[in-house]
Amino acid sequence: MRAVVVTEYGGPEVLEVADVPDPQPGPDEILVAVAHTACNRADTLQRRGAYPDPRGRRDHEILGLEFAGKVAAVGERVTLWQVGQPVMGIESGGCYAELVTTHERQAMPVPESVALTDAAAIPEVFLTAWDALVVQGGLTSGRWALVHAGASGVGTAAIQIAKAIGARIAVTCSAPKADACRELGADLVLERSPADWRAELADAVPGGVDVVLDVIGGDEVNRNLASVKPQGTIVQVGLMGGGQPQVDLGRLLVKRVTLIGTALRSRPIEQKVALCQRAIAELLPLFDDGSLQPVIDSRFALDDVVAAHRRMEADANVGKILLDVTR
């Protein structure tokens, strides 16, 4: 099969499309013929050697954390899937490829209202946002969330999820992306620079927000502590701004804040299966009732993966950057 491989770490130019052996499904796995995949920040980190594949180092690494395609083969114990069915899902890697294997209970059906060409924009970001805000953060109707990088894949998913459950949401973003966040339904859009977003947020939500979803880290950690209400929750899902900030532990203690660090990729298979099965029951129906939709910034052919990574690292995208494996 053809796949995007990394044999040395570095900039986008190290990515190359090569022929590699086909994966074989285990007894409880399905083999997916990948039609589309998507770029994530974790892919750029792995490409630079900063986010290793939890499955271990190999002669070559295949990037990619999510896929959409059709079932090509099933393992001998598989009962939930048949060859030819549309399918989407998350994996720890290997999705920038024509074929990928996944556990049958980790795979998810493509919502009827979503075209297969768009489905790869769903799994990683909607699972991440929903897990952080709702499952771990406890966001419910009437409560306030603060989400950083509101125009990112996770951010655009988070805005829609918050509105779908009746919550209110403030997001930070750069000025050129503010209108896109408002159009998705954000209640409050805080431009990161030069405006002081903390002051504007405090005016709008004087008691503090209930949940913070932060993909930035760095200097935002203490701003989050200042902005969350007493006994609120901060869910850290990314470190785009740095992973070793000076943290105001005094404020953390006095406000009795819960600070959660989380990642999908490194979770054991049992936890991933549990999350995906819950998402099938609770999250995916929101696509078919019109509450949620994938937000797609751009599409690139698999052979143009270098250009796709450059667009992501330029912070030019609003929503997801897709890679078309088959065109």
Q: What is the mean pLDDT of residues 61-82?
A: 97
Alpha helices in the chain (DSSP H): 41-47, 116-119, 123-130, 153-164, 178-184, 197-204, 220-227, 249-254, 269-282, 285-288, 305-313
| Tens of pLDDT, residues 189-218 | 998 766 679 999 999 999 999 999 999 988
Per domain, the residue ranges of the chain are 2-122+267-324, 125-261
Q: Return mean pLDDT, the chain.
A: 95
Report whether pLDDT(119) > 70. Answer: yes
User: What is the band of 242 on the pLDDT scale with cuts at 50, 70, 90?
Assistant: confident
**How confident is the model at residue 240, as a pLDDT?**
80
Cα pseudo-dihedral 303, 306, 311, 312, rounded to 10: 100
What's the CATH superfamily of 125-261? NAD(P)-binding Rossmann-like Domain (3.40.50.720)
Q: What is the mean pLDDT of residues 320-327?
A: 92
Report whether pLDDT(324) > 70. Answer: yes
| Tens of pLDDT, residues 302-318 | 999 999 999 999 999 99
**How confident is the model at residue 38, as a pLDDT?**
98
Q: Residue 85, Cβ neighbours under 10 Å: how many?
A: 16
Q: What is the mean pLDDT of residues 254-280?
A: 96
The CA distances from residue 45 to 41, 56, 59, 66, 110, in Å, are: 6, 16, 18, 16, 28
Encode 274-307: b = buried (16+ Cβ within 10 Å), e = exposed. ebbeebeeebbebbeeeebbbbbbbbbebeebbe
CATH node for 2-122+267-324: 3.90.180.10
Q: What is the mean pLDDT of residues 157-174?
A: 97
Q: What is the mean pLDDT of residues 233-241?
A: 90
**Cβ 10 vs Cβ 47: under 8 Å:** yes
Phi-psi region of 145 (alpha: psi -120 to 50; beta: other; left: phi over 0): beta
Q: What is the mean pLDDT of residues 278-282?
A: 98
Report whether pLDDT(235) > 90. Answer: yes
The CA distances from residue 139 to 154, 162, 231, in Å, are: 16, 8, 13
Closest CA to 15 of 4, 3, 26, 28: 4
**Cβ 264 vs Cβ 237: under 8 Å:** no
Pairing of strands 61-62, 66-74: unpaired
Percentage of the chain surpassing pLDDT 70? 98
